[in-house]
Structure 1
Amino acid sequence: MTTLLPTSTVGSLPKPAWLAKPEVLWSPWELEGDVLVEGKHDALRSAVQEQERRGLDIISDGEQTRQHFVTTFIENLDGVDFENRETVRIRNRYDASVPTVVGAVSRRGPVFVEDAAFLRAQTDRPIKWALPGPMTMIDTLSDRYYGSREKLAWEFATILNDEARELEAAGVDIIQFDEPAFNVFFDEMKDWGVAALERAAEGLRAETAVHICYGYGIKANTDWKATLGSEWRQYEESFPLLQRSSIDIVSLESHHSNVPIDLVELVRGKKVMLGALDVASERIETPEEVADTLRRALEFVDADKLIPSSNCGMAPLPRRVAFDKVSALTAGAALLREELAG
């Protein structure tokens, strides 16, 4: 990527109201059958055009064709029962009704590859596709078959690697693995979580990223963050391991968080996708605020390795708010770019 401070978003963008109920996670589709397939592609095409219009350098699908960043992938696997659901604690924060693993998990075929090829055809800019990480996948399920979170994670890592290789072949430039579970289950992350993530990314020529955040701007997450005190130091657990890993890019939450910016030093040498948009607030950042968040990071990451981004996905936000935030991100990056050039 030749652009200095290339801008991107982390994951989801709000869907149009005619496709799914706005401002809701796991929102059911408003369409069905062939009309739903067409509607998803219309929404994806619209999201690409809006990202380009707002000046993003790295384009994503905005998760327009999937209900949720984890469960939509799992829906396409054998060995998982979506009828017999169980209530589990997601990342020790909130209860959710989730599917159950009842047999050996396997991928029936490509899950997102057709949609990724469609995305590739919509833009000449670099494209990024997000997949759930192995540890976050097992935290979004009930397991009645393997009896071992580690064993199931390794199965998922192999499945994810197959999918990632096909996404790469479809023209995806950056493959991002979402691992918010890394901010919660520190012992498992150290024992096998990072290794499973590396297995998922094994052999890829596309750039790889891992996104670790404090969650969507929903009440369960904001309530949890309120208990974390004046300094959020969870990244101290994962960053030293990721710095030594094969992953190319580390994505983190920063703006309006209590994450000490000097923790970025722990991944020195990696590219850093820095969250400069608060997804838990509908207030639109100013370009100056974005530039200030990015500027403070430059003490700990070289400018040619900094990727301005959002803290997390923006699906729960009003559509206008999300895209106005994107405009603030690109304007803020442009301010800092001019400053560095001058």
Structure 2
Amino acid sequence: MKKLLPTSTAGSLPKPSWLAEPETLWSPWKLQEPALTEGKQDALRVSLQDQLHTGIDIVSDGEQTRQHFVTTFIEHLNGVDFEQRKTVKIRDRYDASVPTVVGAVSRQKPVFVEDAKFLRQQTKQPIKWALPGPMTMIDTLYDDHYQSREQLAWEFAKILNQEAKDLEAAGVDIIQFDEPSFNVFFDEVNDWGIACLERAIEGLTCQTVVHICYGYGIKANTDWKKTLGTEWRQYEEVFPKLQQSNIDIISLECHNSHVPLELLELIRGKKVMVGAIDVASNTIETPEEVADTLRKALHFVDAENLYPCTNCGMGPLPREIATAKLHALTAGAAIVRKELSA
């Protein structure tokens, strides 16, 4: 981890077309057990190979073994009925048919640990594993049991903490919690959202990340972004409290977004995964564009705390575009690394 400006991805990477429908969220699997387990492991190997080949320093599973960054985790918990579905507004933006919380939520056994062990066996690189954050989990469900967003979030925080400890024991170096909800429900974030996140990381010795983005490049998100005006200042609402939190790294969307980078001053001292790759566009960044985003961020983030990254997951992108974007990320980071060492 000693390398300056270590690169990583924010989350999902495209799945091979033999495993799931390309460029689709919630894409159904094309294989059935036991071929599915083998297929997922093969996809994980391919995704890892792509990351290593493009020079990514902190690698991940590319979320190859899960259909969705939130619901795949929830599927393995007690107390949630996937047959009983309700339509809710997700992130205050778009309607989605979601499962219902019908009883006390709990985790019978680890969800991702076997996958994490498998990834650990394949590489000596530092590995990062993403989990959904408590607030984003409650925002992707209809709660017919607790009838309190906060109470359900605390229950999920406890479950996430169990999972995170098992992942750490399996050899994961960095555990990331995905919280796009942090850019939407500011009062709740400050009242109890960050506290819930701290409950989820309790007792961990590995590095922890909160990933806060403006979402995948799906239409509902890109339409929402058009309503945000010329400056996206959502981060301003949650940064002061995050700066005081025990979370080690904050992962953000910076490239091609209207986020004023001076907001990063509010989290000075924290490590920052700076999103220098736009995941909502098929245009491939040049290494120089990536370098430019990183240089601007360096005004507000100390070099040893800056981790070049993608804005969000790249699951919905065509594979060759995602790979080309990873090449651009590592090439851009190399330019700035050279400038810094000079």
Give the structure-1-normalised TM-score: 1.00
1:327 aligns with 2:327: yes
Question: How far off is 1:44 after superposition?
Answer: 0.1
Q: 3-state SS of the aligned residue for 2:247?
A: coil
The CA distance in 2 between the partners of 1:53 and 1:273, in whole Å, is 21
Q: Which amino acid aligns with 1:13?
A: L
Task: Tell me which residue corresponds to 2:169.
Answer: 169
Task: Tell me which residue corresponds to 1:2.
Answer: 2
1:155 aligns with 2:158: no
Task: Tell me which residue corresponds to 1:189.
Answer: 189
Q: 3-state SS of the aligned residue for 2:140?
A: coil
Task: Tell me which residue corresponds to 1:179.
Answer: 179
Matches within 5 A, 1:129-148: 129-148=129-148
Which string of whole-angstrom CA distances, capped at 9 and with x for unpartnered residues, describes residues 175-223 of structure 1?
0000000000011111100000000011100000000000000100000
Which string of whole-angstrom CA distances, capped at 9 and with x for unpartnered residues, describes residues 224-251 of structure 1?
0000000000000111111000000000
The CA distance in 1 between the partners of 2:334 and 2:227, in whole Å, is 35
Matches within 5 A, 1:25-44: 25-44=25-44
Q: 3-state SS of the aligned residue for 1:330?
A: helix
Task: Tell me which residue corresponds to 1:337.
Answer: 337
Task: Tell me which residue corresponds to 1:289.
Answer: 289
1:47 aligns with 2:57: no
Question: How far off is 1:255 after superposition?
Answer: 0.1
Task: Tell me which residue corresponds to 1:82.
Answer: 82
Question: How far off is 1:23 after superposition?
Answer: 0.3
Q: 3-state SS of the aligned residue for 2:315?
A: coil
Q: 3-state SS of the aligned residue for 1:33?
A: coil
The CA distance in 1 between the partners of 2:301 and 2:309, in whole Å, is 15
The CA distance in 2 between the partners of 1:266 and 1:194, in whole Å, is 16
What RMSD over aligned residues (CA atoms) do the two structures have, in Å? 0.4
Task: Tell me which residue corresponds to 2:211.
Answer: 211
The CA distance in 1 between the partners of 2:291 and 2:190, in whole Å, is 34
Q: Which amino acid aligns with 1:274?
A: V
The CA distance in 2 between the partners of 1:323 and 1:156, in whole Å, is 34
Task: Tell me which residue corresponds to 2:122.
Answer: 122
Question: How far off is 1:313 after superposition?
Answer: 0.3
Task: Tell me which residue corresponds to 2:20.
Answer: 20
Runs of 4+ in 1 over 3 A off after TM superposition: none
Which string of whole-angstrom CA distances, capped at 9 and with x for unpartnered residues, describes residues 69-99 of structure 1?
0000000000000001111100011111110
Q: Which amino acid aligns with 2:82?
A: F
Matches within 5 A, 1:46-125: 46-125=46-125
The CA distance in 2 between the partners of 1:183 and 1:324, in whole Å, is 28
Question: How far off is 1:305 after superposition?
Answer: 0.3
Question: How far off is 1:135 after superposition?
Answer: 0.3
The CA distance in 1 between the partners of 2:317 and 2:46, in whole Å, is 17
The CA distance in 2 between the partners of 1:68 and 1:206, in whole Å, is 24
The CA distance in 2 between the partners of 1:44 and 1:266, in whole Å, is 37
Q: 3-state SS of the aligned residue for 1:60?
A: coil
Which string of whole-angstrom CA distances, capped at 9 and with x for unpartnered residues, describes residues 50-84 of structure 1?
10000000000000000000000000000000001
The CA distance in 2 between the partners of 1:25 and 1:133, in whole Å, is 19
The CA distance in 2 between the partners of 1:222 and 1:278, in whole Å, is 12
The CA distance in 2 between the partners of 1:198 and 1:299, in whole Å, is 28
Task: Tell me which residue corresponds to 1:268.
Answer: 268
Which string of whole-angstrom CA distances, capped at 9 and with x for unpartnered residues, describes residues 18-58 of structure 1?
00000000000000111000000000011111100000000
Q: Which runs of 5+ in 2 are unaligned?
A: none
Question: How far off is 1:108 after superposition?
Answer: 1.2
Give the structure-2-normalised TM-score: 1.00
**Number of equivalences:** 342
Q: 3-state SS of the aligned residue for 1:51?
A: helix
